[in-house]
């Protein structure tokens, strides 16, 4: 029997980028003796279904299936994609602003089979615009190539280039927490839980995917906000998983360590005239500040503006503990809705 694999994509009003991604996925070739049955699953987070025309136009060796998740927010669209891929042996998460180079799919699937890992993740190589400020070339914020070696075992991953075996998303469920509706980090929260549940996450350096970096993400203001949001998301994730004094203390220690290391990198950057150190100092400092903010539930709603929401739409069990719109239906109808996230079930 063949091994079924779904490539899961969530999208929101990015038709041109989605088209480029789907074209690159349809161009992927697998060895003739491969036993993989691959399909593409697209979840449109626009209630108007604006991605329909692009999805219908996608042709190639792999079937494309789609659904609309009208509830705005990344966690709901991601949870919907898990629902649609529930019966597949594995799903691969990629973002709608990425492009898969030749050989990417075969490499990722090969790494999964050869390592026997539960999760395989690879690097993102950002393609900067020609007029990007010079400091971008000295920062690794848009490029994760070379950060790890193939086979390295990690304690976290993200949904921008990652294969997840079926047993993982069947056990660690619901996957994506509504607290991260517009802030990002729902994937970090999920994979931290995956790691804590005992699943093995392995890096594959050769399974590289590319991403066009928009000009709006090449500014120092964006860098500072992203660092703050990442740090906050980390603290919120860890406190949600293990509420209590111990987790709060660890998050506080981590935040202070980040801030302390920022001063170390800043001093080294000035003495050694290393621009990479100076940029790392900026990121670590604001990441540490974000980590402190996250302990008390403060985060940056990076994606709220794209959804044109007014800020009054808290969902049940989110950080505001408000009442609001319902969640996407879960893959397993027997389980509670995503807005009633059972972190307490974790071992």
Judge whether residue 344 has pLDDT over 50. Answer: no
Phi-psi region of 329 (alpha: psi -120 to 50; beta: other; left: phi over 0): beta
Question: Are 255 and 299 part of one and the same domain?
Answer: yes
Question: Are 254 and 109 part of one and the same domain?
Answer: no
pLDDT in tens, 308-342: 544 444 333 333 322 222 222 333 334 333 333 33
Residue 79 DSSP SS3: helix
The residue with tokens 């100076």 is 278
Q: What is the pLDDT of residue 179?
A: 87
Q: Answer yes or no: is 284 within a domain.
A: yes
Nearest CA-CA partner of 317 in 292, 295, 297: 297
Question: Are 196 and 269 part of one and the same domain?
Answer: no
Instruction: Pick the last residue of a domain from 292, 307, 322.
Output: 307
d(CA 199, CA 154): 10
| DSSP state at residue 345 | G
Instruction: Choose between 256 and 296: higher pLDDT.
Output: 256
Query: Phi, psi (5° rounding) for residue 54?
Result: -65, -40
pLDDT in tens, 106-153: 999 999 999 999 999 999 999 999 999 999 988 888 999 999 999 999
Q: E strands, the chain, where?
A: 3-11, 36-44, 63-68, 90-95, 98-99, 119-121, 124-127, 153-154, 161-165, 201-203, 209-212
Q: Answer yes or no: is 319 within a domain.
A: no
Instruction: Pick the last residue of a domain from 158, 179, 213.
Output: 213
d(CA 186, CA 124): 18
Q: Answer yes or no: is 45 within a domain.
A: yes
CATH of the domain at 44: 3.90.550.10
| DSSP assignment string, 172-201 | S-S-S-GGGTTTS-HHHHHHHHHHHTT--E
Q: Answer yes or no: is 334 within a domain.
A: no
Residues ≥6 apart with Cβ < 8 Å to 264: 281
Question: Are 48 and 145 part of one and the same domain?
Answer: yes
Low-confidence winner among 20-24, 52-56, 183-187 (lowest mean pLDDT): 183-187
Q: Answer yes or no: is 323 within a domain.
A: no
Question: Are 134 and 63 part of one and the same domain?
Answer: yes
Q: Answer yes or no: is 340 within a domain.
A: no
Question: Are 203 and 255 part of one and the same domain?
Answer: no
Question: Are 204 and 250 part of one and the same domain?
Answer: no
Cβ neighbours of 160 (radius 10 Å): 18
Q: Answer yes or no: is 341 within a domain.
A: no
pLDDT in tens, 268-290: 999 999 999 999 999 999 999 99
Instruction: Pick the last residue of a domain from 154, 187, 213.
Output: 213
Question: Are 131 and 276 part of one and the same domain?
Answer: no
69 is in which domain, residue-wise? 3-213
Q: What is the pLDDT of residue 303?
A: 55
Question: Are 19 and 158 part of one and the same domain?
Answer: yes
Of the chain, the percentage scoring pLDDT greater than 70 comes to 86
Q: What is the pLDDT of residue 304?
A: 58
Domains in the chain: how many in total? Answer: 2
Q: What is the pLDDT of residue 310?
A: 46
Q: What is the pLDDT of residue 299?
A: 73
Question: Are 132 and 257 part of one and the same domain?
Answer: no
Cβ neighbours of 169 (radius 10 Å): 24
Residues ≥6 apart with Cβ < 8 Å to 285: 227, 258, 259, 262, 263, 266
Question: Are 124 and 190 part of one and the same domain?
Answer: yes
Question: Are 208 and 226 part of one and the same domain?
Answer: no
pLDDT in tens, 160-177: 999 999 999 999 999 999
What is the mean predicted confidence (pLDDT) over 299-311? 55
């Amino acid at each position: 029997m063949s091994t079924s694999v779904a490539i899961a994509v969530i999208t929101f009003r990015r038709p041109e980028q989605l088209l480029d991604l789907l074209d690159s996925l349809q161009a992927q070739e697998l060895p003739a003796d491969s036993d993989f049955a691959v399909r593409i699953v697209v979840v449109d987070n626009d209630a108007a279904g604006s991605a329909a025309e692009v999805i219908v136009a996608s042709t190639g060796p792999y079937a494309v299936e789609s659904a609309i998740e009208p509830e705005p927010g990344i966690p709901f669209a991601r949870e919907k994609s898990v629902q649609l891929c529930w019966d597949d042996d594995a799903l691969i998460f990629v973002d709608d602003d990425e492009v898969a180079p030749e050989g990417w799919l075969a490499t990722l699937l090969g790494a999964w089979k050869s390592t026997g890992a539960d999760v395989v993740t690879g690097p993102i190589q950002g393609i900067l615009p020609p007029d990007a400020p010079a400091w971008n070339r000295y920062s690794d914020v848009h490029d994760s190539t070379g950060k790890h070696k193939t086979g390295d075992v990690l304690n976290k991953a993200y949904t921008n280039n990652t294969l997840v075996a079926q047993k993982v998303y069947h056990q660690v469920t619901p996957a994506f927490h509504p607290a991260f509706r517009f802030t990002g980090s729902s994937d970090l929260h999920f994979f931290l839980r995956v790691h804590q549940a005992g699943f093995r996450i392995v890096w594959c350096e050769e399974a590289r995917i590319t991403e066009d970096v928009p000009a709006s993400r090449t500014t120092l203001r964006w860098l500072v906000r992203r660092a703050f949001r990442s740090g906050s998301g980390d603290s919120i994730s860890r406190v949600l998983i293990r509420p209590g004094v111990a987790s709060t203390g660890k998050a506080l220690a981590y935040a202070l360590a980040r801030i302390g290391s920022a001063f170390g990198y800043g001093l080294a950057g000035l003495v050694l005239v290393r621009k990479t150190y100076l940029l790392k100092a900026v990121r670590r400092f604001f990441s540490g500040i974000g980590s402190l903010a996250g302990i008390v539930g403060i985060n940056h709603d990076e994606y709220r503006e794209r959804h044109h929401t007014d800020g009054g739409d808290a969902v049940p069990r989110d950080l505001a503990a408000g009442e609001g719109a319902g969640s996407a239906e879960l893959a397993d109808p027997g389980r509670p809705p995503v807005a009633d996230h059972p972190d307490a079930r974790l071992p």
